[in-house]
Structure 1
Amino acid sequence: MSATMLQTTGFVSGVIGTTGVFAATLMDVWCARNQQEHKLTSVYTYKGLWKDCEVSSSGFTECQALYSHLNYSDLLQAIRALLVVAILVSMIAVFIGFFCLKCLKMRNMALLTRAKLMLSAGIMFIIAGLCDISGASVYADQIVPSFTTSPYNQKQGEKGGVQCANGMGGIDSFASKYTFGPALYIAWVGGALLLLGGILKCIAFKRMQT
């Protein structure tokens, strides 16, 4: 594959990955209460990075924004920060990568300058992808303890890890079990595309040098 094709493919992959990370960060369904366990309840609960939502049997949805930085764990704040950093860095990489595309006729830009910009965009894509995957993986890791927590060992389960229900988005007195939401999968896919785009751009830089 030529350097131009690698550069273009890496740029497109980075743009799609950036869009995915941005969408996942804004989505509310990062974790959802397992309905198989609560078929008789009339409330469906799902949680995100910025708000908690409940859907009643009548279909009415009520969400509570998580504006306070004191009522929720520092871990949630760290996950938010990782996702926001991933968005900012990837958007800068997209901006730089657009202007160093070979299909754009930039008369005043030397080939060496274009290659260095392409390498910088590739490294930024990789950094953004690592931040995104790290944040999503940490969030997913906090959901896992809820699978082994019951109303009888709720306090014991809290010691093993921060639950989605308790530590990162409010208090669930019934120690409900939560599952991965679609936002988590979108964040993982977006991070993988960012890594792929960054690697392809770095390979293209190497090809241009040789």
Structure 2
Amino acid sequence: MAASIIQLMGFMLSALGLFLISAATAMDMWSLQDRSFTVVTNIYTYSGLWNSCVGTAYGTTQCRPYFTILGLPALLQAVRALMIVGIILGAIGCLIAIFSMKCLKMGSMDDNIKATMTLTSGIMNLLAGICGIAGVSAFANLVVQSFRFTTYADGGFSMGGGGMGGGGIGGLTGSLTPRYTFGPALFVGWIGSAILFIGGIMMCLACRGMAQEGNYDGMAYKAASHHTIYKTDPRSRPAHLDSYKAQSQEGRMSNQRFDYV
């Protein structure tokens, strides 16, 4: 009973984690523009694995997909591959988990086969969670490195005088390079991958419990058959036994004749 509950909880967590990493992969807010030092905050940019978007404070958004993969960074392409592989592994693991549920009866499938299928599903969910965590962490590292090494294009603020041509006292000279920070999709991907990883561990634990419940210590009992078959002895017998048998048969025949008389 405990193995069935653990298996069901592992399946539910795996399905939830698969949904979350799929949603994170489709989201566009993987990196969000940091508006801490920007003067105009009504317009901001953000980007994901597939699109680069511009949003406004009024709720309008315009996105432009990446039309080519040749000009994209290699790390971004690796993140794409990791997330897609994680989704595929998680989907196959959840599909196998459905057929390995102990509460479902499918033909003559015994508990040992279901335990093996549950272990396979748990391993695939574990790998899917690892792929998701690795992909999201790699993109987060890319955002951190970009944020650290992004500086002002022209030395920052000009404090000297010089009229309007020089920017004036306290004027801002040069342009600021936009910096990007973590988007909501990263947190969704982390949480979904962690849930998927935990679901895979629970499936593996359920497999161990199902295997122990399927093994019984004892001797098999086979009922005796009611029909007894006698076999003739093919070995040759001594001559004195055959003569004794003939004499006994003649004696019985003589007795029978005597009885009838």
**If the length of structure 1 is used for normalisation, what is the TM-score?**
0.85
Deviation at 1:59, TM superposition (A): 4.2
144 and 109 in structure 1: CA distance in 2 versus 1, 3 angstrom threshold = same
- Equivalent of residue 204 in structure 1, options 200, 203, 206: 206
Distance across 2 between alignment mates of 1:185 and 1:30:
9
Aligned residues of 2:115 and 2:208 also touching (Cα < 8 A):
no
Greater helix proportion = 1
Query: Which one-letter code corresponds to 1:150 in the other structure?
Result: T
Aligned pair count reads: 192
Query: What is the rounded CA distance, in whole Å, between the counterparts of 1:204 and 1:58 in structure 2?
Result: 51
- Could you report, residue by residue, the CA deviation over 1:39-85 in whole angstroms, capped at 9, with x for unpaired residues? 42542101100000012455432211013111111111110000000
Counterpart in the other structure of 2:151:
150
- Give the RMSD, CA atoms, in angstroms: 1.9
User: What's the secondary structure of 1:97's corresponding residue?
Assistant: helix
Structure having the higher Rg? 2
Q: State whether residues 122 and 197 of structure 1, in contact with CA within 8 Å, keep that contact through their aligned partners in structure 2.
A: yes
Task: Please identify runs of 4+ aligned residues in structure 1 that moved more than 3 A.
Answer: 56-60
Q: Indicate the percent of aligned positions where both proteins have the same amino acid.
A: 40
Q: Which amino acid aligns with 1:129?
A: G
1:189 counterpart (188, 191, 206): 191
8 Å CA contact 1:11, 1:201 repeated in 2: yes
Question: Distance between the aligned counterparts of 1:13 and 1:41, measured in 2?
Answer: 39
When structure 1 is superposed on structure 2, of 119-128 and 49-58 the one drifting more is 49-58
**What is the aligned partner in structure 2 of residue 22 from structure 1?**
22
Deviation at 1:98, TM superposition (A): 0.6
Give the structure-2-normalised TM-score: 0.69
Cα distance in 1, alignment partners of residues 36 and 61 from structure 2: 20
Q: Residue in 1 aligned with 2:60?
A: 60
Unaligned 5+ runs, structure 1 = 154-172
Q: Any unmatched runs of 5+ in structure 2? A: 155-174, 213-261
Q: Counterparts of 1:60 and 1:10 in 2: how far apart (Å)?
A: 40
Q: After the TM superposition, which residues 1-210 of structure 1 pair with which residues of structure 2 at under 5 Å, given as runs?
A: 2-56=2-56, 59-148=59-148, 149-152=150-153, 174-210=176-212
